[in-house]
């Protein structure tokens, strides 16, 4: 059977059957919510219709995709935001929320694209940018480790273990922690300086 391709600019039609299976009419194949999520990321527009009644189910399916991504641990929606969003249901301002959120996301997407383009150009292409991102993640991990040592929980734990030690031992331990943080910061500075030097050579 030949694939039925939609006209240029026309959304792909996805049919949803009673057994919850989703059928892509453009590829003549069944798809999953993850497949639809990939289509969204690739900028492919689609509409989901009930296979029997032709009811538009696009909104509910997109919501299911978000729920599935959140369940996988890809948390984009902070709990305070979810609470605020729920509070708007039935509120007098409910009608303004969709357009406001859409405008905000469009602005964010535009700024994100500009930022990625600038960063990619500044660091010598996508491969070089990916390497820089990996370095940033390592640096952040080092910072988090330093912060963890000085967090209230870490301090509380250190204090409980240090109750049997003398004041001199406590002072020495604090000094060691401080020196460790200083050393980590020096290492980060060296790495950033090295990256900067490599970019200049290019």
The tens digit of pLDDT for each residue in 135-188 reads 656 655 655 555 555 444 444 444 444 454 555 555 555 556 566 666 766 676
The candidate with the shortest Cα–Cα distance to 159, out of 139, 173, 176, is: 173
Closest CA to 21 of 51, 41, 54: 51
Domain coverage including residue 193: 119-201
In a domain, 100, yes or no: no
Most confident range (mean pLDDT) of 46-50, 97-101, 119-123 is: 46-50
Quote the pTM value.
Answer: 0.52
pLDDT level of residue 11 (50, 70, 90 thresholds): very high
Q: What b/e string do you get for 132-144 counting C-beta neighbours within 10 Å, with b at 16 or more? A: beeeeeebeebee
Last residue within a domain, chosen from 76, 99, 131: 76
168 domain-assigned: yes
Q: Quick one: 135 and 195 in the same domain?
A: yes
CA of 137: how far to CAs of 6, 23, 142, 188, in Å?
A: 42, 39, 9, 11
Q: Which residue has the tokens 């007098």?
A: 92
Q: Are residues 128 and 197 in the same domain?
A: yes
Domain-ending residue, one of 76, 94, 111: 76
CA distance 135 to 137: 5
Mean pLDDT over residues 120-132, rounded? 61
What is each CA distance from 23 to 6, 15, 18, 29, 41, in whole angstroms? 14, 5, 12, 6, 19
């Amino acid at each position: 059977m030949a694939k039925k391709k939609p006209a240029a600019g026309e959304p792909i039609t996805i049919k949803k059957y009673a057994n919850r299976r989703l059928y892509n009419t453009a590829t003549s194949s069944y798809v999953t919510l993850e497949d639809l999520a990939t289509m969204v990321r690739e900028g492919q527009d689609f509409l989901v219709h009930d296979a029997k009644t032709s009811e538009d189910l696009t909104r509910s399916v997109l919501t299911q995709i978000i729920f599935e991504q959140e369940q996988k641990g890809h948390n984009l929606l902070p709990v305070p935001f979810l609470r605020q969003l729920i509070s708007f249901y039935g509120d007098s301002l409910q009608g303004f929320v969709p357009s406001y959120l859409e405008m905000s996301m469009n602005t964010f997407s535009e700024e994100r694209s500009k930022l990625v383009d600038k960063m990619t150009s500044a660091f010598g292409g996508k491969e070089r940018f990916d390497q820089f991102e990996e370095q940033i993640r390592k640096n952040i991990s080092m910072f988090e480790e330093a912060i963890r040592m000085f967090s209230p929980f870490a301090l509380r734990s250190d204090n409980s273990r240090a109750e049997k030690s003398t004041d001199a031992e406590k002072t020495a331990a604090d000094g060691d922690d401080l020196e460790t943080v200083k050393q980590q910061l020096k290492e980060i500075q060296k790495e950033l300086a090295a990256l900067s030097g490599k970019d200049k050579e290019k």
